[in-house]
Structure 1
Amino acid sequence: MPLPPWISDLPALDLLLSVAETGSVGRAAQAHGISQPSASARIARLERRLGVPLLVRSRRGSLLTPAGQAVAVWTQQVVEAAHTLADGVRTLRADQEARLRVAASLTIAEYMLPAWLLTVRRTHPGTEISVGVSNSAGVCEMVRAGGVDLGFVESPDIPAGLSRRQVGDDRVALVVSAGYPLAARAGQEIPVTDILEQPLLLREPGSGTRDTFLNAVGGKAPHATSLGSTTTILATTRAGGGIGVVSSRATAAPVAAGELVELTVRGLDLTRPLHAVWLGRAPTALAEDLLAAIGPR
């Protein structure tokens, strides 16, 4: 059976308890920080909604009717529970204002997040900041579960139920060792079919880098090996183990040093947006400050 509409009028029920305690609508109004006419109007409205008289008013003050006394007894635990709820929520808000919980996919965590967090630490030196690192799918699960306030992902697909904001973009690069046979074709446009015939070194399922590449090539990579980190992929690529598929941010230094060679693939667009994700319509205040540090929306 659904609750009646008047049950939501907790401020009026709380006011009724104060009248019972003080013996006066005026003193109860003062305790609640409202005027006496306003307090009288609230009690009168509550009487109409309940359908029973609650107070007997006289020159000496206000007394509860027998019905009013019964309602006051039943109200006591309800109002106390409401105060417990209000205090708990205030505590949660204070805790939320004092800490920022972030999760980021590996590329963002390694190459972008440190500078972003440094800005927040400068403006909020007393804030506790915790950072979790996972692949894009893992980050979205952490946000969904309420384990973090804000997540950063590289995946081209954002799960339903999460709010998002683009915070940048990235490009997936295909690289090989300098001695790998395809390195001789660097600078040329290599057909996708030639790439798919080679051993491909991909991140694990759930990685935004992996998803970006597979979406671009139609979802098929028959000679792919899944590796759990960008570092492992780069090490295997240097050893001649195949074509490394990682963020261009991770390959910039080894390509500049001549350790790796980037391949150009005909008609293959491997750019991708980077997103912040969170639960609810708006991020927390600290999360919004972090997004502001990243730049315009």
Structure 2
Amino acid sequence: MSSASDTRGPNGPDASVPAGSLAHRVPDLGALELLLAVARLGSLGAAAREVGITQPAASSRIRSMERQLGVALVDRSPRGSRLTDAGALVTDWARRVVEAAEAFDAGAQALRHRRDSRLRVAASMTIAEYLLPGWLLALRAQRPDTAVSLLAGNSAAVAERLLAHEADLGFVEGLTVPAGLDSVVVAHDQLIVVTAPGHAWARRGKPLPAEELAATPLVLREKGSGTRQVLDAALGGLARPLIELSSTTAVKASAVAGAGPAVLSELSVREELSTRRLVSVPVDRIGLRRDLRAVWRAGHRPAGPARDLLSLTQG
């Protein structure tokens, strides 16, 4: 029998298990399953084959369990193996432990299935409208049974959803990662100044001074959006907005209608630029390139369909 200071794993001492713990005193599931197989088959060799180990390994595991419990469990003879009286009693207890473990495993599988059957994504507007559709289409090819819900909002709203456990994975466009979130860059984007063709800026022969852009009322996204954050930081401040809108589509429509200049993602205005419904206005001495990031709650790396979606964005 092992001493109180000798902590054992399935086949001998295991220094990682604290002496005196339940794991030290109770055989592991593999040993209990082996004992149940011996009781059912009446042969150590047949039991070893059933659980997928060699007969010497099975003998070693039974001896280790006997030392751990301090009683003989199996009598071995040329005619086979039979349980001792103590072994029969331990086998009855082992059966209940294994049944409880099977119930535990079934419950864990149900939890994984429930997790894998849905995916809640929160994304800032540009990513939600122009990048996520392609990513989600690719995810559907991999996981056709996963139901995906998409919550679109500004970058601040995405962070709130994640921190409130209302989303499994998020995507943001701002300069910084919101507090409480981990992130990885998945794409890059360029903000550009656009106007309707009839606006005076559309006919400029040289780049617009950054100071003039900062002093001009613009059609802007609301505070909290990644686009507004990047523009404000690049210019060191903005004039009071001409119009403040809560979606990229609304800002773009206003600019096309001639309401005034706007600053939008290059991703969002490709069609309008190609058809000349909008004109790009070069700006002098400022950089409006930004990183697009996947974000999740700090310390909780995405799993299941969220992990697969994240992988697709980085492919």
- TM-score normalized with structure 2 length: 0.68
Asked if residue 105 in structure 1 is aligned to residue 130 in structure 2, the reply is no
Amino acid at match of 2:30: P
| 1:170 Cα offset (Å) | 1.1
Asked if residue 11 in structure 1 is aligned to residue 37 in structure 2, the reply is no
Amino acid at match of 1:162: D
Asked if residue 62 in structure 1 is aligned to residue 82 in structure 2, the reply is yes
Q: Which runs of 5+ in 2 are unaligned?
A: 1-17
| 1:223 Cα offset (Å) | 1.3
Aligned pair partner of 1:134 in 152, 165, 170? 152
| 1:134 Cα offset (Å) | 1.8
Give the structure 1 partner of residue 189 of structure 2.
Answer: 170
In structure 2, relative to structure 1, the CA distance for the partners of 1:188 and 1:33 (3 Å cut) is closer
Give the structure 2 partner of residue 273 of structure 1.
Answer: 291
Question: In the alignment, is the contact (CA less than 8 A) between 1:163 and 1:277 conserved in 2?
Answer: yes
Q: Which stretch shifts more, 1-10 or 169-178?
A: 1-10
| 1:247 Cα offset (Å) | 0.8
In structure 2, relative to structure 1, the CA distance for the partners of 1:14 and 1:216 (3 Å cut) is farther
Question: In the alignment, is the contact (CA less than 8 A) between 1:101 and 1:131 conserved in 2?
Answer: yes
Amino acid at match of 1:63: L
In structure 2, relative to structure 1, the CA distance for the partners of 1:214 and 1:78 (3 Å cut) is farther
Task: Give 3-state SS (helix, strand or coil) of 1:82's partner.
Answer: helix
Task: Give 3-state SS (helix, strand or coil) of 1:110's partner.
Answer: helix
| 1:229 Cα offset (Å) | 0.8
Q: Which runs of 5+ in 1 are unaligned?
A: none
Aligned pair partner of 2:249 in 227, 231, 245? 231
Separation in structure 2 between the aligned mates of residue 5 and residue 125 of structure 1, nearest angstrom: 38
Give the structure 2 partner of residue 221 of structure 1.
Answer: 238
C-alpha RMSD of matched pairs (Å): 4.1
Question: In the alignment, is the contact (CA less than 8 A) between 1:56 and 1:65 conserved in 2?
Answer: no
- TM-score normalized with structure 1 length: 0.72
Give the structure 1 partner of residue 209 of structure 2.
Answer: 190
| 1:52 Cα offset (Å) | 2.1
Question: In the alignment, is the contact (CA less than 8 A) between 1:237 and 1:244 conserved in 2?
Answer: yes
Question: In the alignment, is the contact (CA less than 8 A) between 2:120 and 2:166 conserved in 1?
Answer: no
| 1:259 Cα offset (Å) | 3.6
Amino acid at match of 2:83: L
| 1:125 Cα offset (Å) | 8.7
Q: Could you tell me the percent identity over the aligned residues?
A: 37
Question: In the alignment, is the contact (CA less than 8 A) between 2:139 and 2:308 conserved in 1?
Answer: no
| 1:109 Cα offset (Å) | 3.2
Asked if residue 202 in structure 1 is aligned to residue 220 in structure 2, the reply is yes
Amino acid at match of 1:217: L
Q: Which stretch shifts more, 124-133 or 51-60?
A: 124-133
Separation in structure 1 between the aligned mates of residue 84 and residue 227 of structure 2, nearest angstrom: 69
